[in-house]
Amino acid sequence: MRILHYWRAMAGIVGRELLRFLHQRERFVSALVRPLVWLFVFAAGFRAALGVAISPPYETYVLYEVYITPGLLGMILLFNGMQSSLSMVYDREMGSMRMLMVCPLPRWFLLCSKLIAGTAVGVLQCYAFLGIAWLYDIQAPLMGYGWILPALVLAGMMLGALGLLLSSFIKQLENFAGVMNFVIFPLFFMSTALYPLWKIKESSPLLYNLAQYNPFSQAVELIRFALYEQFNQQALIYTGAAFLLFMGAAILGYNPSRGMMVKKGG
Amino acid sequence: MSEIALKVSDLSFAYGAKKALDGVGLAVASGECTILLGPNGAGKSTLFSLITRLYDARQGRIELCGFDIKRQSLQALAKLGVVFQQTTLDPDLSVSQNLRYHAALHGIGRKAADARIREELERLQMYERRGEKVRQLNGGHKRRVEIARALLHKPKLLLLDEPTVGLDMPSRRAIVDHVHQLVKQQNLAVLWATHLIDEIADDDSLIVLHKGRVEAGGKLSDVLRDTACADAGQVFQKLTQDPPGVAT
């Protein structure tokens, strides 16, 4: 019976998130517009400026648009993860988070369910983006679109857990804008989403090191390799470890007696 | 002898150096509506946060139907229904969708959930509006839906945190009457935080909380006798010593 309760609760949380997502069409559109602008405008403009040499998983020279597509998938997941945590801060201020926390299930389970729900939305957005990119002639091997699913899920979970962790620290919604600037931009720009590591190394060894150990880079590489039916073990381990670390800290942050909840009051 | 649904003993809590609750003790029995009266800042919200386990108290004990909220939190929370001060319904979803979500969180299957949703909404004359988006409902109707939601999993204790704030008189009256009816018909235990004196019925119990301490507690008639006051308004004035400004 207990397992059935867990299952129903998780289905309820994921279902609610998907319903909310379907009802907020502007959220869906804006989630797609951002990476599409990067793809159509930024990448097209930089195509000439940035040549991308052959490096795994690519077996030939690729257009810059092709190179940044996995990075833009990472961007979708990153924004989605942060937006989910933004909604957690909002939910907490508005009280619906309390509604969730007061139901008779362990908090770690509720947080994991919330995370899975957010990730499901992110993965949907990614596939919609890939569909449009396909029409724009950015086409990966067909099997790659299946391979990419577990990579998107893990990357989404890792970035969502980071957002969850941040949301446990943030007292008010207003503080969130600052965190977005201090988290999203550094994570995104100091990564392999826009330029390959060797290119970064040429310009700055420090930036190269930062980008290499940036968990967002590893998530993007995991996606990049999966899209071309390849398995990047290092990226998988790194992304998985980052997920466990962020998730553990977030659960601690939401613990009623130990974490930030006590300090925040309310 | 009625069953004790909520027992709070020697509960203290502080935000940093500021003490919000100081040695609070109270009990709420089944079939009893207990009004928790206190001015702003008295500690009502803190007490509710501790009972709903938003955070844990370092000192004191809270039991829900005999289950310790810290050690047996899942069993304890299963007995609890809550209506928070702010609306916690999702405005973009329909009444039914909101209620089904709550039922899922409590592990109630779809069929059973639909039956209970019907039962609770019909009791509040809201069943016909189940398909409407919450955004389209007025404040009073939203509150009704929240009460229906809090009762879906058949809790033993219902916590209401100033549920009538911002409502007009007829809506307030309807909610007050409905909750008192539930107490009688379903043997529900209710703890109702408010600062509106006119929400207290003659056979209610009363707890006056002021600056984190329980200043008086018991059946309304007993409290009136002990404090030599004519009504709850006077009790409130006398025990909290606040200037007039309490809505009645």
How do B157-161 and B80-83 pair as beta strands? parallel
In CATH terms, the superfamily for domain B1-79+158-248 is P-loop containing nucleotide triphosphate hydrolases (3.40.50.300)
**Whole-number Cα distances in Å, B146 to A99, A167, B27, B108:** 11, 26, 24, 17
Spatial CB neighbours of B98, under 8 Å, sequence gap ≥ 6: B89, B90, B134, B145, B149
Residue B84 has its nearest CB partner, among A4, A24, A95, at A95
Spatial CB neighbours of A97, under 8 Å, sequence gap ≥ 6: A88, A91
In which residue ranges of chain B is pLDDT below 70? 1-2, 242-248
Sheet with strand B189-194: strands edge to edge: B80-83, B157-161, B189-194, B33-37, B205-210, B213-219
The verdict on a CB contact (< 8 Å) between B104 and A13 is yes
Q: What is the pLDDT of residue B247?
A: 44
SS (H, E, C) A42-92: HHHHHCCCCCCCCCCCCCCCCCHHHHHHHHHHHHHHHHHHHHHHHHHHHHH
- The highest-confidence range among A29-38, A117-126, B47-56, by mean pLDDT, is A117-126
pLDDT digits (tens, 9 = 90+) for A146-204: 999 999 999 999 999 998 888 877 766 566 677 677 888 888 888 888 888 777 777 88
The stretch A191-218 carries a mean pLDDT of 83
Ramachandran category for residue B187: left, alpha or beta (phi over 0 → left; psi -120 to 50 → alpha) = left
Alpha-carbon distance of B245 to B215, in angstroms, equals 19
| Phi–psi pair at B11, nearest 5 degrees | -90, 125
- pLDDT category, A51, cuts 50, 70, 90? low
pLDDT digits (tens, 9 = 90+) for B91-107: 888 999 999 999 999 99
Q: What is the pLDDT of residue A58?
A: 77
* Domain region containing A10: 2-264
- What residues in A contact B85, CB-CB < 8 Å? 95
- What residues in A contact B136, CB-CB < 8 Å? none
Query: Which stretches does DSSP call E strand in A94-211?
Result: none
Rg (CA), chain B: 18
Beta bridge partners of B68: B63
Alpha-carbon distance of B30 to B248, in angstroms, equals 27
Q: What is the pLDDT of residue A266?
A: 35
Q: In chain B, what are the domain boundaries?
A: 1-79+158-248, 89-154
Nearest-CA residue of chain B relative to A99? Answer: B88
- The helix-helix angle for B232-240 and B220-227 (nearest 10°) equals 50
Instruction: Give the helix ranges, DSSP H, for A136-173.
Output: 144-169
Instruction: For an interface test with B, give the residue of A16, A17, A111, A254 to mutate (most B CBs within 10 A).
Output: A16
- What residues in B contact A13, CB-CB < 8 Å? 101, 104-105
Q: What is the pLDDT of residue A243?
A: 95
pLDDT digits (tens, 9 = 90+) for B189-239: 999 998 888 888 888 999 999 989 998 888 888 988 888 888 888 888 888
Q: Which of A75, A241, A237, A226 shows the shortest CA–CA distance to A143?
A: A226
**Number of domains into which chain A is organized:** 1
Map tokens 């947080």 to a residue.
Answer: A111
